[in-house]
């Protein structure tokens, strides 16, 4: 029994030192120019105002709320808030081991260890918080610029995962994860929708 207790204690100490790293979707060995290429598209139209309207419509179609538009600078900022699964398995493992350790302590004390009971209750809440949906905020910035007979659009999006604090009622304002997305499929879909909205704008549909 002592060996089992020692193993659990060692495992918990190791897990408790695991650092929760910020997620990154940066392509391997991607240069600044490569990232800029992923985020940028050129449209065969020399009309920034029409392109801006198409972008606004695209963002709103996808649930974004426009935060700021600087028409002279060709700049748009928008935000979207959602509830999504963003579980960190390392945290669940640490809380589970801590709960098991406190259960052993409780057993050794014949149920007379109040701190172990409190810790088990706290770990239960932490695990519930971790496996439940988190508030996720998507911040995006779009810049529009005329280049010859075309219009250049650069789009980037940052995901901020907020921390659940106590069950499902309280959310901490500071993000526990900040992810800048570079997945080509996200940009391909966005620019495809902008292209469709440009068609609607040009044809007054």
pLDDT tens digit sequence for 135-153: 899 999 999 999 999 999 9
| Mean model confidence pLDDT for the chain | 82
Task: Give the global pTM.
Answer: 0.74
pLDDT of residue 144: 96
Q: Give the integer Cα–Cα distance in Å for 175 and 159.
A: 9
pLDDT < 50: residue spans in the chain: 1-23, 167-168
pLDDT of residue 45: 92
pLDDT of residue 7: 38
pLDDT of residue 114: 84
8 A C-beta contact, residue 79 and residue 64: yes
Q: Give the integer Cα–Cα distance in Å for 65 and 11.
A: 46
For the stretch 197-203, contacts whose Cβ atoms lie closer than 8 Å and that sit 24 or more positions apart, written own/partner, are: 197/53, 197/54, 197/55, 197/57, 197/58, 197/61, 198/43, 198/45, 198/50, 198/51, 198/54, 200/54, 200/57, 201/50, 201/53, 201/54, 201/57, 202/45, 202/50
pLDDT of residue 1: 42
pLDDT of residue 165: 65
pLDDT of residue 171: 61
pLDDT of residue 150: 95
Residues forming a β-bridge with 145 = 152
> Which residues have a Cβ under 8 Å from the Cβ of 195 and sit 6 or more positions away?
43
Q: What share of the chain in percent tops pLDDT 70?
A: 80
179: left (phi over 0), alpha (psi -120 to 50) or beta: beta
pLDDT of residue 174: 74
Residue found by looking up tokens 């980037």 in the block = 156
pLDDT of residue 160: 92
- Centre a 10 Å sphere on the Cβ of residue 2 and count the other Cβ atoms it contains: 6
């Amino acid at each position: 029994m002592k060996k089992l207790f020692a193993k659990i204690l060692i495992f918990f100490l190791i897990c408790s030192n695991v650092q929760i790293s910020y997620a990154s979707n940066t392509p391997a060995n991607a240069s600044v120019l490569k990232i800029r290429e992923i985020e940028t598209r050129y449209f065969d139209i020399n009309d920034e105002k029409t392109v801006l309207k198409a972008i606004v419509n695209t963002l709103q179609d996808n649930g974004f709320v426009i935060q700021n538009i600087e028409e002279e600078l060709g700049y748009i900022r928008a935000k979207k808030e959602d509830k999504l699964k963003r579980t960190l398995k390392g945290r669940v493992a640490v809380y589970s081991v801590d709960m098991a350790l406190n259960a052993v302590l409780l057993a050794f004390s014949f149920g007379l260890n109040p701190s172990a009971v409190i810790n088990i209750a706290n770990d239960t809440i932490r695990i519930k918080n971790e496996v439940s949906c988190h508030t996720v905020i998507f911040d995006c910035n779009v810049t529009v610029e005329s280049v010859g007979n075309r219009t250049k659009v650069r789009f980037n999006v940052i995901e901020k995962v907020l921390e659940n604090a106590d069950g499902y009622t309280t959310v901490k304002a500071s993000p526990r994860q900040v992810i800048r997305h570079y997945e080509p499929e996200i940009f391909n879909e966005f620019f495809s929708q902008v292209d469709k909205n440009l068609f609607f704008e040009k044809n007054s549909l």
